[in-house]
A and B are shown apart, each in its own frame.
Chain A
Amino acid sequence: MGKIVGIDLGTTFSAIAELDDLGNPEVLSDPENNNRITRSAVYIGRDKAIVGDKAVDAAVTNKKNTILEVKSQMENEVVWSTKEGGWIEKEGKKDIKGYVPSQISSIILSKLKDYTSGVKKAVVTVPAMFAEAARSATLDAAKLAKLDVELINEPTAAVLHYANLPGASVNGRVLIFDLGGGTFDITIANVKGKKVDVITSVGDKHLGGRRFDEEIINILDKKYKKAKSKGLDNPLKDEKLFTIAERIKKILSNKDKATEIIEGPKGPHKIDVSRKEFEDSIDTYIEKIKMLMEEALERADCKANNISQTLLVGGCTRMPVISQVITKIMKKAPVKGVNVDEAVACGAAIYAGLQNKDSLNTAQRKAISNVELNDVCNFYMGTLALTIDQERNMAVQYNDTVIPRDTKLPCSITKTYTVVSDGQKAIDCSVTQSEGEEKDVEFVNLISNEPLELSKNAKAGDPIEVTYSYDSSGKMHCIFEDKKSKKKHEINLKPIGSKDFKELKDNLDFEIE
Chain B
Amino acid sequence: MEGIVIWIVIVVGWAILKGAFSSVTGGNDNSSSSVEANPFTVKVKKGLPPKDTGLTVDCYNVEMTGMISHPTEDQVKIILLIQDVTDNDDENDAGAPVLSAHEAFAEKGSRVLGVERVYESSSRTYFPDWSLFVPIPVDFIVPPHKGKRRIKFLLCVGDADTTVDRGGVNDTSKLIHISKEIVNFTFKEPGYMDELVNRDKVEDLTIKLGMCMAAADGTLDQKELNIIKTWAKNLTSLLEDDKAQERNAHFSKFLKSSAIAAKTNKISLSNLVKDFNDVASKTQKYTAMQLLLDISGADGTLSKEEDVFINKIAKTTDINLSTFKEMKNKVIANVDNIDLSEKPSEESFGLTEDMDDAEKMKVLRKEYTKWNGQTNHKDPKKKKRAKEMVKIIADLRKQYSN
Partner of A392, one of B103, B323, B365, B401: B323
Q: How far is the CA of A290 from the CA of B398 in the complex (A)?
A: 10
Q: Are A291 and B101 neighbours in the complex by a CB distance under 8 Å?
A: no
Q: Are B286 and A434 neighbours in the complex by a CB distance under 8 Å?
A: no
Q: Are B378 and A445 neighbours in the complex by a CB distance under 8 Å?
A: yes
Q: How far is the CA of A258 from the CA of B372 in the complex (A)?
A: 33
Please give, as numbers and ranges, the residues of chain B lying within 8 Å of A206 by CB-CB distance. Answer: 375, 387
Q: Are B376 and A129 neighbours in the complex by a CB distance under 8 Å?
A: yes
Q: Are A291 and B2 neighbours in the complex by a CB distance under 8 Å?
A: no
Please give, as numbers and ranges, the residues of chain A lying within 8 Å of B377 by CB-CB distance. Answer: 443, 445
Q: Are A435 and B390 neighbours in the complex by a CB distance under 8 Å?
A: no
Interface centre among A91, A204, A285 (most CB of B within 10 A): A204
Q: How far is the CA of A276 from the CA of B364 in the complex (A)?
A: 26
* B370 in contact (CB, < 8 A): yes
Contact with B along A439-466 (1 / 0, CB 8 A): 1101101100000000000000000000
Q: Are B368 and A440 neighbours in the complex by a CB distance under 8 Å?
A: no
Query: Nearest residue in A to B101 (C-beta to C-beta)?
Result: A390
Q: Are B1 and A398 neighbours in the complex by a CB distance under 8 Å?
A: yes
Q: Are A391 and B282 neighbours in the complex by a CB distance under 8 Å?
A: yes
* A234 in contact (CB, < 8 A): no
* B397 in contact (CB, < 8 A): yes
Nearest-neighbour CB distance to chain B for A209, whole angstroms, equals: 18
* B237 in contact (CB, < 8 A): no
Interface centre among A91, A286, A290 (most CB of B within 10 A): A290
Q: Are B369 and A295 neighbours in the complex by a CB distance under 8 Å?
A: yes
Q: How far is the CA of A439 from the CA of B376 in the complex (A)?
A: 16
Q: How far is the CA of A389 from the CA of B320 in the complex (A)?
A: 12
Given contacts A295-B365, A385-B2, A443-B374, contact A391 B102 (CB under 8 A): no
* B200 in contact (CB, < 8 A): no
Please give, as numbers and ranges, the residues of chain A lying within 8 Å of B334 by CB-CB distance. Answer: 442
Partner of B373, one of A287, A400, A438: A438
Nearest-neighbour CB distance to chain B for A512, whole angstroms, equals: 31
Q: Are A440 and B376 neighbours in the complex by a CB distance under 8 Å?
A: no
Query: Nearest residue in A to B371 (C-beta to C-beta)?
Result: A436
**Chain A interface helix/strand/loop/mixed:** mixed
Given contacts A391-B282, A391-B319, contact A291 B376 (CB under 8 A): no
Q: How far is the CA of A398 from the CA of B286 in the complex (A)?
A: 18
Please give, as numbers and ranges, the residues of chain A lying within 8 Å of B373 by CB-CB distance. Answer: 434-436, 438, 443
Interface residues of B in 122-177 (CB under 8 A from A): 139
Query: Nearest residue in A to B330 (C-beta to C-beta)?
Result: A442
Nearest-neighbour CB distance to chain B for A127, whole angstroms, equals: 10
Q: How far is the CA of A400 from the CA of B3 in the complex (A)?
A: 10
Q: Are B282 and A294 neighbours in the complex by a CB distance under 8 Å?
A: no
* A76 in contact (CB, < 8 A): yes
* A131 in contact (CB, < 8 A): yes
Q: How far is the CA of A433 from the CA of B100 in the complex (A)?
A: 35
Given contacts A400-B2, A436-B373, contact A392 B286 (CB under 8 A): yes
Q: How far is the CA of A286 from the CA of B398 in the complex (A)?
A: 9
Nearest-neighbour CB distance to chain B for A74, whole angstroms, equals: 12
Q: Are B376 and A131 neighbours in the complex by a CB distance under 8 Å?
A: yes
Q: Are A436 and B370 neighbours in the complex by a CB distance under 8 Å?
A: yes
Given contacts A387-B2, A388-B102, A445-B378, contact A284 B283 (CB under 8 A): no
Interface residues of A in 42-60 (CB under 8 A from B): none
Query: Nearest residue in A to B397 (C-beta to C-beta)?
Result: A287
Q: How far is the CA of A435 from the CA of B368 in the complex (A)?
A: 12
* B380 in contact (CB, < 8 A): yes
* B326 in contact (CB, < 8 A): yes
* A393 in contact (CB, < 8 A): yes
Q: How far is the CA of A401 from the CA of B283 in the complex (A)?
A: 27
Q: Are A435 and B372 neighbours in the complex by a CB distance under 8 Å?
A: yes
* B183 in contact (CB, < 8 A): no
* B181 in contact (CB, < 8 A): no
Nearest-neighbour CB distance to chain A for B11, whole angstroms, equals: 15
Q: How far is the CA of A285 from the CA of B390 in the complex (A)?
A: 10
Please give, as numbers and ranges, the residues of chain B lying within 8 Å of A436 by CB-CB distance. Answer: 369-370, 373-374
In this complex, the interface size class of chain B, counting residues with CB under 8 Å from chain A, is 35 or more
Nearest-neighbour CB distance to chain B for A296, whole angstroms, equals: 11
Interface centre among A91, A385, A445 (most CB of B within 10 A): A445
Contact with A along B370-402 (1 / 0, CB 8 A): 101111111010100001001100110110010
* A372 in contact (CB, < 8 A): no
Interface residues of A in 377-422 (CB under 8 A from B): 385, 387-394, 398, 400
Please give, as numbers and ranges, the residues of chain A lying within 8 Å of B330 by CB-CB distance. Answer: 440, 442
Given contacts A295-B369, A438-B373, contact A388 B5 (CB under 8 A): yes
Given contacts A287-B397, A288-B368, A436-B369, contact A391 B1 (CB under 8 A): yes
Given contacts A435-B372, A443-B374, contact A387 B365 (CB under 8 A): no
Query: Nearest residue in A to B392 (C-beta to C-beta)?
Result: A284
* A479 in contact (CB, < 8 A): no
Q: Are A287 and B401 neighbours in the complex by a CB distance under 8 Å?
A: yes
Nearest-neighbour CB distance to chain A for B59, whole angstroms, equals: 15
Query: Nearest residue in B to A418 (C-beta to C-beta)?
Result: B9
* B355 in contact (CB, < 8 A): no
Nearest-neighbour CB distance to chain A for B81, whole angstroms, equals: 22
Q: Are A390 and B394 neighbours in the complex by a CB distance under 8 Å?
A: no
Q: Are A393 and B376 neighbours in the complex by a CB distance under 8 Å?
A: no
Interface residues of A in 255-286 (CB under 8 A from B): 283-286
* B333 in contact (CB, < 8 A): yes
Interface residues of B in 1-52 (CB under 8 A from A): 1-2, 4-5
Partner of B372, one of A76, A204, A286, A442: A204
Interface residues of A in 106-161 (CB under 8 A from B): 129, 131, 133
* A246 in contact (CB, < 8 A): no
Q: Are B369 and A287 neighbours in the complex by a CB distance under 8 Å?
A: no
* A513 in contact (CB, < 8 A): no
Query: Nearest residue in B to A442 (C-beta to C-beta)?
Result: B330
* A75 in contact (CB, < 8 A): yes
Q: Are A287 and B1 neighbours in the complex by a CB distance under 8 Å?
A: no
Q: How far is the CA of A75 from the CA of B378 in the complex (A)?
A: 8
Interface centre among B370, B372, B390 (most CB of A within 10 A): B372
Please give, as numbers and ranges, the residues of chain A lying within 8 Å of B139 by CB-CB distance. Answer: 390
A-B residue pairs in contact (CB < 8 Å), sample of 23: A89-B380, A206-B375, A284-B394, A285-B394, A287-B395, A288-B394, A291-B364, A390-B101, A391-B323, A392-B287, A392-B323, A393-B101, A393-B282, A398-B2, A434-B376, A435-B373, A435-B374, A435-B376, A436-B369, A436-B373, A440-B329, A445-B377, A446-B378
Binding site for A on B (CB under 8 A): 1-2, 4-5, 101-103, 139, 282-283, 286-287, 319-320, 323, 326, 329-330, 333-334, 364-365, 368-370, 372-378, 380, 382, 387, 390-391, 394-395, 397-398, 401
Give 13 A-B pairs besides A390-B1, A391-B323 with Cβ atoms closer than 8 angstroms: A129-B376, A285-B394, A292-B372, A294-B365, A387-B5, A389-B1, A390-B102, A391-B286, A393-B101, A400-B2, A435-B376, A443-B373, A443-B374
